[in-house]
Structure 1
Amino acid sequence: MTQIRTYLSLILFCFSTVLLAQEKKEITIIHGGDFNKDEVKYPGASIFSKDDRQVQFEHQGIDLWCDLAVYYQKENKIQAYGNVFFQQGDSIKMNSEYVEYDGTTKIALAKEKVVLRNNSMTLNTEELEFDRNKQEAFYDNFGTVKDSANVLTSDKGRYYMEIDKYEFKSDVKITNPDYVINSARMDYYTNTKNAYMYGPSTVVGEDYKMYCERGFYNTVAETGYGVKNTRIDYSDRIIYGDSLYFNKATEFASATNNIKVIDTVNDGVLRGHYAEIYKAKDSVLVTKKALAISLFEKDSMYIHADTLMVTGKENERIVRAFRDARFFKTDLSGKCDSIHTDEKTGIAQLITKIPPNTPENKLSAFRPVLWSGETQMTGDSIHIISNVKTEKLDSLKVWDNAFIIQKDSLSGVKFKDSLKQGYNQIKGKYLYGLFEENELRIVDIVKNAELIYYLWNDDDELVGIDKRLCGLIQMVMEDNEIDNTTSFINVEGIIYPDSELPVNGRKFRGFYWRGDEIISSVDDLFSEEDKNIKLPVINGVNNPIDIDNPNLAPEELTPINPEEEEKEETPTNTANSVNKKATLPKKAPVKKAEKEESSK
């Protein structure tokens, strides 16, 4: 009689469970196996354990299998133990040793050897919360995600199943045979393999390293983009900028706003507001307030132009400055249309294309010009030659129409008439100069050399104006000023008293003083247009937008504020959610429904 009552109770329990499940959407028992109750330890619960097959439950699109289950029908909750398998539809599958599932909230908490899988990835962790309402899974005690391309690890992670997106936090790492990524926080899309990085992040490949504090990385194409405190170590160059982009396949990188490119081999620096780097060609192009800085022993040379280009391998670098090129160092400066410097030969060429139909008296206004202090030198083409071994300035050559002008300081003081301001001048076909310790010391003017020079005695009285013609004039420089001159070969000339030399005879043909253009500092290199340049606004990465992801609907493409203070994420409050080893209920003697029926 007792057996009959037990059997009928089990039938009534199963029947009522089905009815309640239909009405209240409760958890449904598909296969109960062995049935038992333990009101002392599990009041109000039914205990099911496997027989020849695992216990199985179903609830609104999920199926759950386990070795043993404690089912609270009234609370609509279940605790599953041993070889738990949890499946949602055809795509989401989860294995663990323990699952606690709430049929009302539709939240599952899995513990011990948790493995979550779908068609594109596998997640391993020790504790995972699965919210079926939001279709999100969360862990906060380290997890490993593997997809077809990468292995990702982090201390915390949240998986958004509907858009194939992971949100990783704390000590995030992606490991790939070709690169390693470390980040403080990252959004990763398993569908596209795109990663969005927040906080200090590095991407280290075979021959590159990228650092940023906000950026994007396509882990398949190996293209990256950083917009906050960005840096790329690219072969023998280090690149900085407000935003940086690079592409491994094309070996190309670009930088925008406040860029700096450091040549780690040649102690060179390029600055500007836009740069392109072509690694395979050993080429760098810089525009927008472009500036090249080269170290010459204890001094530096600064070159500015509209566009700067550096090409060539180590010790064979070529620097080209295009359009309104200028340079400055402590004792020497100059300007021209373009500058071409060759590290292998040590030659820097100053080149200018003079506009057609320029009047003769205006030609020097367009020719390349050098200043040593306030001594002005012009010519059709100027070469500055450095010693490639010592890296010191060695010599100077001016080809055709060499012209040296220096304002005579005393005549400007003595004579109140501005028309009588004197200028010392040396003119000839060629100019050859020698440097000592990077200072211009000796200058030779060769072929059809002419001189006008103001002579003063020790009492600062004008003795006369020396005007001569010869084959060669040599002048010695001291503190960037003409100290003395010597004439050679067929010397013809006369020293005129001041009163006997008319004003129009005190300047050679082609005279053009460019004193208002003298470059006395690095700041003088830049025009007003350069100084007032308006930089483009860096919009940044529209994280977590993933434009390549076909699963994202337009309404889901909503950027978040990158500056928003990061909030600590915690799992939804569930019963017994402490991350500890799940404990199996002690097995009591079971009652077999089939056996009871046969023994009636």
Structure 2
Amino acid sequence: MDLKHIPTIFLLLPFFWASAQQPQQKEGRQINIVYGANFTKDEAQFPGASIFSRDDERQVQFEHQGADLWCDIAIFYAEENRLRAIGNIRMQQGDSIEMNSGKMDYDGNSKLAKAWEKVDLTNGQMTLTTDTLYFDRENQKAYYKSGGKVVDSANVLTSVVGTYFITPKKYQFQKKVHIDNPEYIIDSDQLDYYTVSKNAYMYGPSTITGEEYKIYCERGFYDTKIEQGYGIKNTRIDYDNKIIEGDSLYFDKVSEFASATNNIKITDTINNGVIKAHYAEVHKAKDSVFATKRAVSISLVEKDSLYMHGDTLMVTGKPEQRILRAFRNAKFYKTDLSGKCDSIHFDETTGITQLIKDPILWNVDNQITGDSIHLISDMETEKLDSLKVIENAFIISLDTISGTGYNQAKGKDLFGKFIENELKIIDLVKNTEVIYYVYNDDQELIGIDKTICSKIRLLMANNDIEDITFFVNPDGDIFPETELPVESRKLKGFVWRGDERIMSKDEIFDEDDNNIELVKIRGIENPIDIDAEEEERQNNENDPVNQLASKPNTKAVPPKKVPLRKKDQNP
């Protein structure tokens, strides 16, 4: 008998009879047939099943609790409330979700669909393709376990495992997650992606690589449309010839800006300098770094590290033209040289380091003061070359033999010469004076030299005075210790500040620096409720994501728009 000539009403009788036999508790969950087309049974191969196949006009169509399914062939087990669909399958839920495949099993009791063979799922804004997809309509999520790809208007995303949550329109990708965008790529162990905002939340080792930057983090957020985001665990940014590390890092490509909070380390990859702090900013357009909160700059000077601190550090200028400034309460330390002042200014172009306002310098045991102090480096060798003290130059050292007296020299200005980073020659000019303890070879005190003249030259050896030369009308004498009163053994303006001397790199920090209370960074100790955060972003008018309606999304992946067909349309 030709099945095509059997009236549809008779073809549906077995289906309705089976439906009538369903237990009462399944009422309302039964899969309904909308169009059966051709009907047959094959008890040998499909016991208890009704087999429907399309006709020349329409596909077979089923409906179940807000979803419609079309296919070429359906093997329907009415009593078990399940079916297998074969050929050109399309499932549509409401006006938003459509899934296509070659084959599908659907259970009406659990509302779980398993689709395989060239599967794709779309919501009109994105398309998911995979070999096998599970669509859990009860919990409104779809997931794959063996690799999938998602394409939307901004990105192409792939992973081994993925879940799409329909209500928040969110993907959760796991294992070998990869996002491909013309401007950057993202690789992550786990990543949550919101299809409306195009925001990505990363977990586990993750890398974002752009044309001019690279970001690594183990927990972070990234707005894939505007290339803006942050990392809050083991984060690092390679940006503008710098490596930025810290507990929390923020990055904005458009404004060419990055900032870091808590336990920061910024490495200049060209000059090998390092800045550490608890807050810092990097401005690419200005070639600048701003750092504060226990900020310190560390640079290498002839195999010795130079540590420079201030309440605020600022580095500006292009490579080889850097200017480093330390503002307020500035201090520095290296093993044979240390000092402090109100502020420090170092110009890499000239090699001049200026100690500004109330400067004091210690060269090993020699204390040097003046209105302004300049340290000059040799630009070729990068070694310390010379020293200038402008106005009220004063050098003092404790007489190590007596332990009570002080060798002193003063003048209007001081000029020093370093040889192999050791201060060897000191010239004092204009209104110079000296007090110096003179000993014989047996280290017995001969007397105390007290002289004034126009210029004095001190020759140093092992950071101690080895010889003194007086120029132009020296006036003075070597006095026996008993003939020079104690009050006459100090030059006018003498102030010994040995208790202020910086003896280690840790002493460049004050008590306030060491007791800074670090900012508590949300999300490091406990996971962030990202669904709530995403909703908060959507409701925040000041969030950049809500200010992009009028801005074109340049160089993005063209959107793959799949028009959804209304459920009453013919395929």
SS of residue matched to 1:335: strand
Which of 423, 443, 449 aligns to 1:440? It is 423
Q: Residues 535-564 of structure 1: CA distance to partner in whole angstroms, max 9, x if unpaired?
A: 12221275442467459999xxxxxxxxxx
CA distance in 1, matches of 2:367, 2:330: 17
The structural deviation recorded for 1:14 is 4.4
1:10 is the counterpart of 2:11: yes
1:337 is the counterpart of 2:342: yes
CA distance in 2, matches of 1:117, 1:263: 46
SS of residue matched to 2:180: strand
SS of residue matched to 1:25: coil
The structural deviation recorded for 1:16 is 3.5
SS of residue matched to 2:17: helix
1:406 is the counterpart of 2:389: no
8 A Cα contact 2:359 2:373, kept in partner: yes
Match of 1:483 in 2: 466
CA distance in 1, matches of 2:12, 2:506: 94
Which of 58, 80, 87 aligns to 2:63? It is 58
CA distance in 2, matches of 1:7, 1:271: 80
The structural deviation recorded for 1:221 is 1.7
SS of residue matched to 1:327: strand
CA distance in 1, matches of 2:378, 2:535: 60
8 A Cα contact 1:125 1:144, kept in partner: yes
Deviates more, 1:476-485 or 1:257-266: 476-485
The structural deviation recorded for 1:534 is 2.1
Q: Residues 123-152 of structure 1: CA distance to partner in whole angstroms, max 9, x if unpaired?
A: 000111111111000101000011111111
Matching of residues 307-386 of structure 1 within 5 Å = 307-352=312-357, 367-386=358-377
Match of 1:195 in 2: 200
CA distance in 1, matches of 2:346, 2:536: 54
CA distance in 1, matches of 2:142, 2:181: 24
Matching of residues 242-281 of structure 1 within 5 Å = 242-281=247-286
8 A Cα contact 2:522 2:528, kept in partner: no
Q: Residues 37-92 of structure 1: CA distance to partner in whole angstroms, max 9, x if unpaired?
A: 11111100011111112111111111111111100010000100001010001110
Deviates more, 1:18-27 or 1:215-224: 18-27
Match of 2:53 in 1: 49
Residue 187 of structure 1 aligns to which amino acid in structure 2?
D
Match of 2:452 in 1: 469
Matching of residues 412-451 of structure 1 within 5 Å = 412=403, 421-451=404-434
Match of 1:185 in 2: 190
SS of residue matched to 1:499: helix
Match of 1:507 in 2: 490
8 A Cα contact 1:196 1:544, kept in partner: no
8 A Cα contact 2:21 2:79, kept in partner: no
Structure 2: gaps spanning 5 or more residues: 540-571
Q: TM-score, normalised by structure 2?
A: 0.90
8 A Cα contact 1:224 1:247, kept in partner: yes
Which of 379, 383, 392 aligns to 1:388? It is 379
Aligned length: 531
Q: 1:266 to 1:203 in 2, by over 3 A?
A: same
Match of 2:227 in 1: 222
CA distance in 1, matches of 2:531, 2:6: 61
SS of residue matched to 1:163: coil
The structural deviation recorded for 1:206 is 1.1
Match of 1:597 in 2: none
Q: 1:247 to 1:445 in 2, by over 3 A?
A: same
CA distance in 1, matches of 2:4, 2:228: 72
Q: TM-score, normalised by structure 1?
A: 0.85
CA distance in 2, matches of 1:9, 1:345: 99
Q: Residues 211-260 of structure 1: CA distance to partner in whole angstroms, max 9, x if unpaired?
A: 00111101112111001110000021110001100100101101111101
Matching of residues 84-123 of structure 1 within 5 Å = 84-123=89-128
CA distance in 2, matches of 1:37, 1:150: 47
CA distance in 2, matches of 1:3, 1:114: 31
Q: 1:219 to 1:465 in 2, by over 3 A?
A: same
CA distance in 2, matches of 1:82, 1:111: 11
CA distance in 2, matches of 1:397, 1:552: 57
Pairwise CA RMSD: 2.1
8 A Cα contact 1:374 1:518, kept in partner: no
Which of 30, 35, 52 aligns to 2:34? It is 30
8 A Cα contact 1:475 1:482, kept in partner: yes
The structural deviation recorded for 1:460 is 2.7
The structural deviation recorded for 1:171 is 0.3
CA distance in 2, matches of 1:489, 1:72: 118
CA distance in 2, matches of 1:334, 1:38: 96
Residue 112 of structure 2 aligns to which amino acid in structure 1?
I
CA distance in 2, matches of 1:519, 1:58: 82
Q: 1:422 to 1:11 in 2, by over 3 A?
A: closer
CA distance in 2, matches of 1:439, 1:25: 90
8 A Cα contact 2:19 2:78, kept in partner: no
8 A Cα contact 1:17 1:28, kept in partner: no
Match of 1:585 in 2: none
SS of residue matched to 2:402: helix
CA distance in 1, matches of 2:473, 2:8: 136
The structural deviation recorded for 1:483 is 1.8
8 A Cα contact 2:11 2:38, kept in partner: no
Q: Residues 418-475 of structure 1: CA distance to partner in whole angstroms, max 9, x if unpaired?
A: xxx2000000000000011111110000111100001122333221110000011100
CA distance in 1, matches of 2:63, 2:230: 46
CA distance in 1, matches of 2:342, 2:8: 103
Matching of residues 548-559 of structure 1 within 5 Å = 549-550=534-535
CA distance in 2, matches of 1:330, 1:190: 57
8 A Cα contact 2:8 2:36, kept in partner: no
Match of 1:460 in 2: 443
1:545 is the counterpart of 2:545: no
The structural deviation recorded for 1:11 is 4.7
CA distance in 2, matches of 1:302, 1:539: 32
Structure 1: gaps spanning 5 or more residues: 353-366, 413-420, 555-600
Query: What percent identity do the matched residue pairs reach?
Result: 59
CA distance in 1, matches of 2:451, 2:240: 58
